[in-house]
């Protein structure tokens, strides 16, 4: 073999920040200020953590879970656990106790590293988790919580140790082992809106390639010169891979911990000269509201890009950030099963768009985007025939490539895969320019009189009304048409009347697509990943005995 | 295995441009204008070429050579040959007949695709190349050269076919085969300043990873929105990987063919709105001279970045491009054995440099740069002990990683490798910021009185004098000091006197480092890759019976 067969191990990328930018900072928000460390310190502490875990018996392939906010100790776990050959299992702190217990047992977690304020989430698990030997607790206030911990330890039947005590005195060097590049690296469970949560086991190879891909100019456009604030939780699909990419590039990292109000985030952006941030649309709606209320309060001169994912942001919001602040919102689409970034839409994503007028530049930005180099996407009918990329045909979106899941961890679920492709569960069109346009989650589509209605298009259209804060469109059973759409709306003010909303819909949709009803609520339930939980909306309507109005 | 094991095959990247940007252009300069094709056409023609090669008996692993300028047909070969599983062997058109024959025979080339104007280079090879079955000739003027070709065919004992006739009527579809990702993809021979030329056989995996790496924001900063003009020949180290990256991203490509005068290049930049170009320092010196002579002639409003490699550009030139035109020169270092890009220096390469004053921003730009993510560099003494990265220690530069050569093709040369590292033959320092600073080629270092003198530093210093066009510093034998430096200078005007040059050297170097002599010549011989050929300079001095002046 004429070229080196160096395995694609994540340690080859993650040690780079401490080498290239030893003095660059990792800043974590605390109750009273910030905790600051350099990459040099972070690298030494990650190695101490690895030595402590090794002393605690953690070997290659063993699962080490985290139940943590975005913070410097979580980042140390991101570095240490995969590099030492163990598996980083990021627990979603918003799961129900039942799901949490299921996931911990299914993964076989031996150690859990938890932020002190989240620790109470483990109390209800007493008696139902059996394999956990140790819980490592991270406190921002080193004096706090000792008594509580003792009672929790005895309830859970495991040892509870303070994080700093756990790593104290451990050697600051650790020779990361040579591994097969297909060794497991990290484990994330999907939020499981149907059935039990399913685990996706990333490998060194898959995460290595994903990390390189998101650092490309045309994807997330990350650079060593950035000050990056990852708001997307590190317990969601590996924080979109940003912690790994930052450790590769050596950019400044700014981590909000549990302090995620719009004001706190904006204070952080201004104080730490954040250049690039990443979060779900609801975060950016909140930040926008704060900026609108106090337009002169924050100096955001350094901020140039916001990456938005998790669900489709309204076009009107993308425009607002660009027109008002000159900030580009980079939209991405992906899922836990895709490591997670699979497509990216930028304001100007191709050379043919560079000469366009401002309005036209936004023609593609609220699409899911163009597939990343190395991946393939396609849309398929129910018999898995490929459908054309003509912007008209609607089919199930399938994706394949070297950072796409091929089976769930210890739960293969072959019906979620087809002939080497992942069946995403999203329904989409692909236009002739190859932009993927997500029409709906397959299970949220509304089938009325044999025709499909996309809830997502309608929701974005309604949410663009100035008086509307949020809108969900769900199917309700209908004796004649099988299903009919109903809009559930959170209003900002009285301008968002039923009549105004329906008239607004009539301006853009066919008559048969317009919702049969508009229901006003004080809020819309969200999933643990921040998306509108339409399953719960439908369940609530059923529980209330909701009936469609008779429009005959 | 929980993640897809999709092999890293170059076809997965190279078909992307035609999908994403079917109407984007590939523009090739011709004697009378430009030849233009779209990525959609290029993709169909690449598949026709693959079918034609298959019909001619080319199978997986067979070598197909090119003897071509940068042009659209060369790009078609870059696409078709590796994707069909054959090996693209790019012949350096500037090699001597002896080396050319050696390389063709050593590689076992079965087919050569050649530009018509370079075809005469094959005439002297009659009788010495035996395995070549067909030569495919590319003419810009379809009528030309037929008679000549007939006599050349009979001399070489092989068939000669016109490129267009070769691919005409072939199907426009070709299902690229599934291959092992470690299959060979391309073959480049080093220019061979010592001994026989040595071949580096790139694999699909190595080139796939290199292609992703150079599209990162912090490396070559390539984007789909670019109009890219690769001046670096596609017969040098795969054109620095730019043809592959462009086919992945779908950016516009502008190819100069054989027309590489500064004026022609500048006309092309202006007419095709080039945003990014890449070439060796001598190209950029020539372009600068043309711009200085006629500052208002060309509109370079679109041009923002010039990638420079092959040898170290003078700092003063980098400054000139930035200060005069706002164009960033991105410097890279690498070699055929590194696929080829290994390090990159940008004007602002780290966040800690963003606040620097203009002068300080250039402190690192004429260093070889920071190692690319995924690779490792180190400096070592003669016993292969690692030396510190303190900016002081000087040692042999070694590099390793997944796109670095591990042995030469059919000629392993184990002394060029050490414990999994490539011994680059360059002597370097690495500073505490991890910038690699090439001191010299190992064989060009000057050893005077037991101390090393770097020829490169001295050359750059002398070349910064306004009256100096080029300067080479070489060792000459000395009875007392073993070796002493001598400067060979091409002067622009009479201000470049011996006294002025030595005084200029005295301002920056220790007395014992200053050249013993300055010799004025009309030109300095270049290697086939455009570097100053110090081996030939030393040989010429020896042949002339040159003696050092007696300075006692």
pLDDT (tens digit, 9 = 90+) per residue, A369-381? 999 999 999 999 9
Query: Residue A166 pLDDT > 70, yes or no?
Result: yes
**Alpha carbon of A195 to those of A9, A220, A481, B308: distances in Å?**
33, 33, 28, 56
Shortest alpha-carbon distance between residue A111 and chain B (Å): 22
Residues in chain B: 552
pLDDT of residue A191: 67
Query: Residue A142 pLDDT > 60, yes or no?
Result: no
pLDDT of residue B511: 86
Q: How far apart are CA B137 and CA A304, in angstroms?
A: 50
Residue A432, in any domain of the structure:
no
Under DSSP, the state recorded for A526 is B
| Terminal Cα-to-Cα distance of chain B (whole angstroms) | 75
Query: Taking Cα atoms as reference points, which of B405, A185, A262 lies closest to residue B413?
Result: B405
End residue of a domain, out of B260, B295, B324: B260
Under DSSP, the state recorded for A3 is B
End residue of a domain, out of A244, A260, A276: A260
Please tell me whether residue B156 adopts helix, strand or coil conformation: helix
Q: How far apart are CA B490 and CA A203, in angstroms?
A: 57
Cβ atoms A457, A439 nearer than 8 A:
yes
Cis preceding linkage at B420, omega within 30:
no
**Among chain A residues, CA nearest to B220:** A217
Contact B339 A213 (CB under 8 A): no
Helices (H), A110-239: 146-156, 163-167, 204-214
End residue of a domain, out of B209, B231, B260: B260
Cis preceding linkage at B493, omega within 30:
no
How big is the A-B interface in CB pairs under 8 Å? 198
Cβ atoms A486, A519 nearer than 8 A:
yes
Sign of CA dihedral B265, B269, B272, B274: positive
Shortest alpha-carbon distance between residue B250 and chain A (Å): 8
Q: How far apart are CA A397 and CA A392, in angstroms?
A: 14
Whether A176 is catalytic? no
Domain of residue B510: give its range.
445-543
Query: Taking Cα atoms as reference points, which of B275, B272, B271 lies closest to residue B222?
Result: B275
Residue B298, in any domain of the structure:
no
Residue A32 in contact with partner chain B when CB distance is under 8 A? no
pLDDT per residue, tens digit, chain B (552 aa), is: 799 999 999 999 999 999 999 999 999 999 999 999 999 999 999 999 999 999 999 999 999 999 999 999 999 999 999 999 999 999 999 888 999 999 999 999 999 999 999 999 999 999 999 899 999 999 976 554 566 778 888 889 899 999 999 999 999 999 999 999 999 999 999 865 557 899 999 999 999 999 999 999 999 999 999 999 999 999 999 999 999 999 999 999 999 999 999 999 999 999 999 999 999 988 999 999 999 999 999 999 999 999 998 877 888 899 999 999 999 999 999 999 999 999 999 999 999 998 888 888 888 887 899 999 999 999 999 899 999 999 999 999 999 999 999 999 999 899 999 999 999 999 999 999 999 998 887 778 888 877 778 888 888 889 889 999 999 999 998 888 888 999 999 999 889 999 999 999 988 888 888 999 999 999 999 887 778 888 899 989 989 999 999 887
Q: How far apart are CA B5 and CA B90, in angstroms?
A: 30
- Which run of H or E residues covers position B454? none
Please tell me whether residue B549 adopts helix, strand or coil conformation: coil
Shortest alpha-carbon distance between residue B419 and chain A (Å): 11
Tell me which of A193-207, A227-241, A250-264, B141-155 is least confident. B141-155
- The CATH number assigned to the domain holding B494 equals 3.30.300.30
β-strands A227-230, A252-255 pairing: parallel
Q: How far apart are CA A541 and CA A483, in angstroms?
A: 14
Q: What is the mean pLDDT of chain A?
A: 93
Residue B372 in contact with partner chain A when CB distance is under 8 A? no
Contact B251 A351 (CB under 8 A): yes
**Alpha carbon of A25 to those of A226, A253, A485, B516: distances in Å?**
11, 7, 50, 50
pLDDT of residue A497: 92
Residue B402 in contact with partner chain A when CB distance is under 8 A? yes
Among the ranges A132-146, A179-193, A243-257, A474-488, which has the highest mean pLDDT value? Answer: A243-257
pLDDT of residue B185: 98
Query: Taking Cα atoms as reference points, which of B259, B213, B204 lies closest to residue B240?
Result: B213
Query: Taking Cα atoms as reference points, which of A402, A493, A382 lies closest to residue A445?
Result: A382
Contact B249 A6 (CB under 8 A): no
Residue A420 in contact with partner chain B when CB distance is under 8 A? yes
**Alpha carbon of A45 to those of A17, A39, B396: distances in Å?**
14, 10, 32
- Which run of H or E residues covers position A305? strand A305-308
Cβ atoms A189, B314 nearer than 8 A:
no
Q: Angle of helix A204-214 relative to helix A242-249, nearest 10 degrees?
A: 70
Tell me which of A8-22, A220-234, A485-499, B37-51 is least confident. A485-499
Q: Which residues share a beta bridge with A89?
A: A65, A187
Residue partners of B222: CB distance under 8 A and separation at least 6: A217, B214, B215, B228, B242, B245, B246, B249, B251, B276
CA atoms within 13 A on the CB side of B122: 34
Cβ atoms B493, B467 nearer than 8 A:
yes
Query: Taking Cα atoms as reference points, which of B466, B504, B459 lies closest to residue B486?
Result: B459
Whether A512 is catalytic? no
Q: How far apart are CA B86 and CA B64, in angstroms?
A: 7
Residue B9 in contact with partner chain A when CB distance is under 8 A? no
Query: Taking Cα atoms as reference points, which of A434, A443, A432, A430 lies closest to residue A395?
Result: A430
Torsions phi, psi for B332 (to 5 deg): -130, 155
Whether A190 is catalytic? yes
Residue partners of B290: CB distance under 8 A and separation at least 6: B262, B263, B266
Contact A434 B250 (CB under 8 A): no
Residue B416, in any domain of the structure:
no
Rg (CA), chain B: 24
Q: How far apart are CA A520 and CA A497, in angstroms?
A: 9
Please tell me whether residue B458 adopts helix, strand or coil conformation: helix
> What's the structural domain count of chain B?
2
Residue partners of B276: CB distance under 8 A and separation at least 6: B220, B221, B222, B226, B227, B228, B229, B303, B304, B305, B306, B307
Residue B182 in contact with partner chain A when CB distance is under 8 A? yes
Candidates B328, B337, B396, B459; catalytic one: B337
Please tell me whether residue A395 adopts helix, strand or coil conformation: strand
**Among chain A residues, CA nearest to B336:** A3
Nearest-by-Cβ selection for A1 from B1, B216, B406: B406
Rg (CA), chain A: 24
Cβ atoms B110, B132 nearer than 8 A:
yes
- Which run of H or E residues covers position A33? none
Tell me which of A64-73, A285-294, A355-364 is least confident. A355-364
Q: How far apart are CA B50 and CA B76, in angstroms?
A: 9
Residues in chain A: 552
Candidates B452, B481, B492, B531; catalytic one: B452
Q: How far apart are CA A353 and CA A218, in angstroms?
A: 14
Cβ atoms B248, B17 nearer than 8 A:
yes
Cβ atoms A289, A343 nearer than 8 A:
no
pLDDT of residue B152: 87
Max intra-chain CA distance, chain A: 77
Contact A374 B212 (CB under 8 A): yes
**Among chain A residues, CA nearest to B12:** A374
Residue A362, in any domain of the structure:
no
- Tell which of A1, A2, A361 to mutate to test the B interface (max B CBs under 10 Å): A2
Contact B216 A215 (CB under 8 A): yes
Q: Which residues share a beta bridge with A466?
A: none
Residue B396, in any domain of the structure:
no
Residue B382, in any domain of the structure:
no
**Among chain B residues, CA nearest to A413:** B2
Dihedral class, residue B495 (left if φ above 0, else alpha if ψ from -120 to 50, else beta): alpha
How many other CB atoms are there within 10 angstroms of residue A548's CB atom?
A: 18
- Tell which of B18, B188, B215, B216 to mutate to test the A interface (max A CBs under 10 Å): B216
CB contact residues (below 8 A), chain A span 322-361, against chain B: 339, 348-354
Cβ atoms B144, B98 nearer than 8 A:
no
Q: How far apart are CA A524 and CA A526, in angstroms?
A: 6
Residue A359, in any domain of the structure:
no
Whether A337 is catalytic? yes
Nearest-by-Cβ selection for B217 from A205, A216, A348: A216
How many other CB atoms are there within 10 angstroms of residue B251's CB atom?
A: 28
Torsions phi, psi for A266 (to 5 deg): -65, -40
Q: How far apart are CA B117 and CA B144, in angstroms?
A: 10
pLDDT of residue A162: 95
Cβ atoms B76, B45 nearer than 8 A:
yes
Please tell me whether residue A176 adopts helix, strand or coil conformation: coil
Candidates A181, A328, A337, A483; catalytic one: A337
How many other CB atoms are there within 10 angstroms of residue A34's CB atom?
A: 15
Contact A217 B216 (CB under 8 A): yes
Residue B434 in contact with partner chain A when CB distance is under 8 A? yes
Cis preceding linkage at A340, omega within 30:
yes
Query: Taking Cα atoms as reference points, which of A482, A475, A491 lies closest to residue A546?
Result: A475
- Tell which of A3, A211, A410 to mutate to test the B interface (max B CBs under 10 Å): A3
**Among chain B residues, CA nearest to A11:** B374
Shortest alpha-carbon distance between residue B527 and chain A (Å): 25
Residue B63 in contact with partner chain A when CB distance is under 8 A? no
Q: Dump the DSSP string for A89-117.
A: EE--TTS-HHHHHHHHHHHT-SEEEEEGG
Nearest-by-Cβ selection for A4 from B4, B184, B400: B400
Contact B182 A5 (CB under 8 A): yes
pLDDT of residue A396: 95
Residue B364 in contact with partner chain A when CB distance is under 8 A? no
Residue B234, in any domain of the structure:
yes
């Amino acid at each position: 073999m004429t070229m080196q067969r160096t395995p694609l191990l994540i340690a080859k990328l993650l040690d780079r920040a401490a080498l290239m930018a030893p003095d660059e900072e990792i800043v974590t928000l605390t109750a009273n200020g910030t905790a600051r460390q350099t990459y040099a310190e972070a690298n030494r502490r990650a190695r101490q953590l690895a030595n402590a875990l090794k002393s605690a018996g953690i070997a290659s392939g063993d699962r080490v879970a985290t139940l943590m906010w975005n913070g410097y100790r979580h980042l140390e776990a991101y570095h240490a656990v995969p590099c030492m050959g163990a598996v980083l299992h990021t627990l979603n702190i918003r799961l129900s106790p039942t799901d949490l217990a299921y996931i911990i047992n299914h993964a076989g977690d031996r150690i859990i590293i938890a932020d002190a304020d989240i620790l109470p989430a483990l109390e209800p698990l007493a008696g139902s988790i059996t394999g956990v030997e140790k819980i490592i607790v991270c406190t921002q206030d080193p004096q706090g919580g000792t008594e509580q911990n003792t009672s929790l330890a005895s309830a859970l039947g495991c040892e509870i140790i303070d994080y700093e005590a756990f790593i104290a005195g451990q050697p600051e060097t650790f020779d990361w082992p040579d591994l097969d590049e297909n060794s497991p690296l990290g484990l994330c469970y999907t939020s499981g809106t149907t059935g039990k949560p399913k685990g996706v086991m990333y490998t060194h190879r898959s995460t290595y390639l994903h990390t390189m891909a998101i650092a490309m100019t045309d994807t997330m456009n990350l650079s060593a010169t950035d000050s990056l604030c990852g708001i997307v939780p590190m317990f969601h699909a590996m924080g979109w891979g940003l912690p790994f990419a930052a450790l590769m590039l050596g950019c400044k990292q700014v981590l909000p911990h549990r302090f995620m109000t719009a004001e706190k985030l904006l204070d952080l952006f201004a104080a730490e000269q954040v250049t690039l941030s990443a979060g779900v649309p609801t975060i950016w709606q909140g930040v926008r509201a704060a900026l609108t209320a106090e337009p002169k309060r924050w100096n955001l001169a350094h901020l140039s890009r916001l990456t938005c994912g998790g669900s489709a942001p309204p076009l009107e919001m993308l425009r607002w950030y660009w027109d008002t602040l000159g900030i580009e919102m980079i939209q991405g689409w992906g899922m836990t099963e895709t490591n997670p970034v699979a497509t990216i839409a930028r304001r100007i994503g191709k050379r043919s768009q560079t000469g366009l007028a401002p309005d036209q530049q936004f023609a593609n930005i609220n699409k899911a985007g163009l597939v990343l180099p190395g991946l393939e996407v396609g849309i398929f009918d129910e018999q898995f025939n490929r459908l054309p990329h003509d912007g008209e045909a609607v089919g199930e979106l399938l994706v394949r490539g070297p950072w796409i899941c091929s089976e769930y961890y210890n739960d293969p679920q072959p019906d979620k895969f087809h002939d080497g492709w992942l069946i995403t569960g999203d329904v989409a069109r692909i236009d002739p320019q190859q932009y993927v346009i997500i029409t709906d989650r397959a299970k949220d589509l509304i089938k009325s009189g044999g025709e499909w209605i996309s809830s997502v298009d309608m929701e974005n259209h309604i949410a663009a009304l100035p008086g509307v804060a949020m809108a969900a469109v769900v199917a309700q059973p209908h004796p004649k048409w099988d299903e009919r759409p109903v809009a559930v709306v959170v209003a900002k003010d009285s301008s968002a009347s039923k009549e105004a909303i329906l008239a607004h819909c009539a301006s853009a949709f066919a008559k048969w697509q317009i919702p049969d009803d508009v229901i006003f609520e004080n809020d819309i339930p969200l999933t643990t990943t921040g998306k509108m939980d339409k399953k719960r909306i439908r369940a609530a309507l059923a529980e209330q005995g909701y009936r469609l109005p008779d429009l005959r």
